[in-house]
Amino acid sequence: MSLSEQASGHPRLHQLPQTHQLKALMTIIRDRATKRGDFVFYSDRVIRLLVEEGLNYLPVVAKEVTTPMEVPFQGVAFEGRICGVSIMRAGESMEQGLRDVCTSVRIGKVLIQRDERTAQPKLYYSKLPRDISDRWVLLLDPMLATGGSASKCVEVLLEAGVREERILFINLICAPEGALAMLNKFSKMQIVTAEIDEGIDDRKFILPGLGDFGDRYFGTED
């Protein structure tokens, strides 16, 4: 069984339904010929789908309301409060998609970069909501390659008191190596992704991938 097959069959790795619409959107943003305006527009559409799907994995409680017809309706409400945490810089591209779905949502930020001396991910900046330990956290980063930076960010959240089972990592594309590494290291967190790619190359780039998401989204390509 290939790594991609192992990842796609993991019970805590959830892919968006592989519809024709999603495939068309992903084809556009993967195409190197796509202009920045279209890349941003269609990426935002996928991000919105991911956030909507992510909310499906949050717990709910029963709630009764009364309709305008004076009839009771047995529905549900989310059990707890949520917040977003974006991994800078590319993760910031997903913040608006979260705000579009969850009004007035609080969003924290974490900056993690590779230490040139140790080659290990190092925390450079963290600003989280004060009550984050009481919330469900949607961790935002569009690309999951080796999982090094994302794993470091999860450690930051755990140190801040967030319960591991309340962390939901949302990304557009993941490499099976990184996804499996994270799921093995953190036995209770979940991942929601649009597509699982073939793997990573010698430079740790996702294949077939889409290039540097942050550069393409923010217009800072060379």
> Which residues are part of the catalytic machinery?
114, 118, 212, 215
Strands 190-196 and 167-174: parallel
Task: Please say whether the beta carbons of 200 and 3 come within 8 A.
Answer: no
Rounded to the nearest 10°, the torsion over CA 28, 41, 106, 88 is 60
* Closest to 88 measured CA to CA, from 147, 160, 141: 141
Q: At what angle do helices 20-30 and 36-55 cross, to 10 degrees?
A: 140
- Six-digit token pair at 25? 């959107």
- 66 with 72: CB under 8 angstroms? yes
